[in-house]
Structure 1
């Protein structure tokens, strides 16, 4: 009886700790959503209160109007275009490269793999100036090309992730497919890709999230307001020379969370499967 009571107390304490810890983790998001319904004065004078004294739904209407005659629908569309194409490019190209490193023998394979891993150790700041000069010479500044095209050449992190997953797939499956007349492309599309779905979905989730919240890339390469992404457009609400419409900015910030939250909830089961990189056991 005492053991049962002790187990009940431990369970109660555990869940209480999880709820308290979860609340502190989610508090910034809750504060953001709460502030999106507050008036300008209420945001700062009652910053510690999550429930507004007066609900200002007009913040969403004003925020959606955007600025300079450009509504936030345009910024959302731009973000979806960049994030979707980047995700497709990174996932597809990384899968091809990962298969090549994992299953195909060729000269210089170890050297190329070492070079790829080395690029993961380079700070992104080191590449900013060379990349900007290169894209400027190509005439790609103020377009989506610098944000999208590099994604079609693979991402080292995703390549390494998929390689670990592919290495868990028995090579006997490849050999059986070869006997049936499949070449490398057939093996990749018919054997590897169906078994690689968890890793592909995990990579897609991370790729979309990283590109959706990317601020520095659009800030560096985009100059026309009509081409701004959501992350860059949110910055335009802050005007040091005038009164910043904080309510509208928080409202659009809350809306910007919706796509990634839906994506995470819909495909969260693939994250654990993909990161575990277990594959199939022979």
Structure 2
């Protein structure tokens, strides 16, 4: 075997091992969702158990409204992701394609906002929403997604690597307006970058716990992370299996979103590597 082939096999082996290690925590959670509390306490196992039905019954008997939680989490995550991607794409395009006074200062402000922890504004934001009478609503959770400095920064850096002024100039010569140029040319061009940020944004908003916990009091509007932390256990028995099942239900949609959007990332990287 040549040295080149040996090196290739070693690289593939290392990548496979890293992939398995990254998937192992997810698999353990899914497996524990099918095991009983006694089996989980006995130690780690990679083989599924036979207590899935019992864990589901124990989970739903504790007031864990799975379908309502899915609906609430999906509404928040979906609309937050759409608003974040669209508004950030417009901002990134403006900072990349147009020249105007104060452009560099504005971009520096965007970078500076990334460094500010969102937790320091929780009290002020809560008081502001209280005065607007928007508590116990999804709006104060979704609308702030219009301003996402980290997404703007990423999309601007991505757009600078693929954007060429001739694309917009050619469209203007054909009579296209700025809005049409953005929707017909720029957005399709940004698909890989948008898919990447869609994954991160959806995961972040799906797992968001602090903000809904502060703003929502109605149990019918609880998200899945809120329902998971509300799982009650009695004094004599802790239903670890049902708790793992609740956690698994919050993970599965994220895996599906990643599998769906990852093909756009791969397609974008492949297209970028082809010389025409």
Report the TM-score, using the length of structure 1 for normalisation: 0.85
- Once the 2 structures are TM-superposed, how far is the Cα of residue 90 of structure 1 from its aligned partner? 0.4
Contact 2:209 2:226 in 1 (8 A): yes
Output aligned runs, 1:119-130, within 5 Å. 119-130=113-124
Deviations 1:76-131 (A, max 9, x none): 11011000010111011111111222223333333322211110011122222221
Which has the larger displacement, 93-102 or 233-242? 233-242
Contact 2:34 2:50 in 1 (8 A): yes
Alpha-carbon distance in 2 for matches of 1:255, 1:223:
22
Per the alignment, residue 43 of structure 1 pairs with 40
Alpha-carbon distance in 2 for matches of 1:172, 1:21:
42
Which has the larger displacement, 14-23 or 215-224? 14-23
Could you tell me which of 239, 253, 257 is aligned with 2:251? 257
Does 2:136 match 1:142?
yes
Does 2:161 match 1:165?
no
Deviations 1:181-238 (A, max 9, x none): 2232122122212212222222222211111112222222211211111111111114
Flag structure 2 segments of 5+ consecutive residues without an equivalent: none
- Once the 2 structures are TM-superposed, how far is the Cα of residue 24 of structure 1 from its aligned partner? 3.2
Report the TM-score, using the length of structure 2 for normalisation: 0.87
Output aligned runs, 1:12-31, within 5 Å. 12-31=9-28
Secondary structure class of the residue paired with 2:62: coil
- Once the 2 structures are TM-superposed, how far is the Cα of residue 14 of structure 1 from its aligned partner? 4.3
Does 2:75 match 1:102?
no
Aligned length: 274
Flag structure 1 segments of 5+ consecutive residues without an equivalent: none
Distance of aligned partners of 1:23 and 1:100 in 2 relative to their CA distance in 1, 3 Å threshold:
closer
- Once the 2 structures are TM-superposed, how far is the Cα of residue 61 of structure 1 from its aligned partner? 2.7
